[in-house]
Amino acid sequence: MTDTPDDATLRRILQAIRTVAVVGVSSNPIRPSYFVARYLGLRGMRVIPVNPGLAGQKLFGETVLATVADCPAEVDTVDIFRRSEHVLPIVTEALEALPNLKTVWLQIGVTSPEAEALCAARGVNFVQNRCPKIEYQRLFGELRMGGFNTGMISSKL
């Protein structure tokens, strides 16, 4: 088991995302789950917010849902912003409820060997301990927009 697929696989996964359920999304714009979800939406992905504490509210033009099982069938990716011990039931529910699920993505610091094994058995891509926003920016040349890799600062003398 590995923390992340290689760069070519990550590129393919990111390019294939059309509808992503963001589990544990916050309505607070300074929280990572909010700005990652917003970023994915700005990249043309439909973002389905999932958070039982916010269910019924609107975020990113969508109604916040209570569970992954409430998500529309077209969800192809589930991005999880929950602690590692909460991942397995979410992934189990997603694998049962989402017929078009292609990828499960666990955010930085979140891992689950059990969920990885379930996804592998079902042929579902699994990425853990990574952020899709960071990976998208890294792999598609957008880090420059965030002030990285500008060539302005160098460690060379």
pLDDT digits (tens, 9 = 90+) for 67-79: 999 999 999 999 9
pTM: 0.89
Q: Whose CA is closest to 5, among 33, 82, 16?
A: 16
Domains of the chain as residue ranges with CATH:
7-140 (3.40.50.720)
86: pLDDT strictly greater than 70: yes
pLDDT digits (tens, 9 = 90+) for 18-49: 999 999 999 999 999 999 999 999 999 999 99
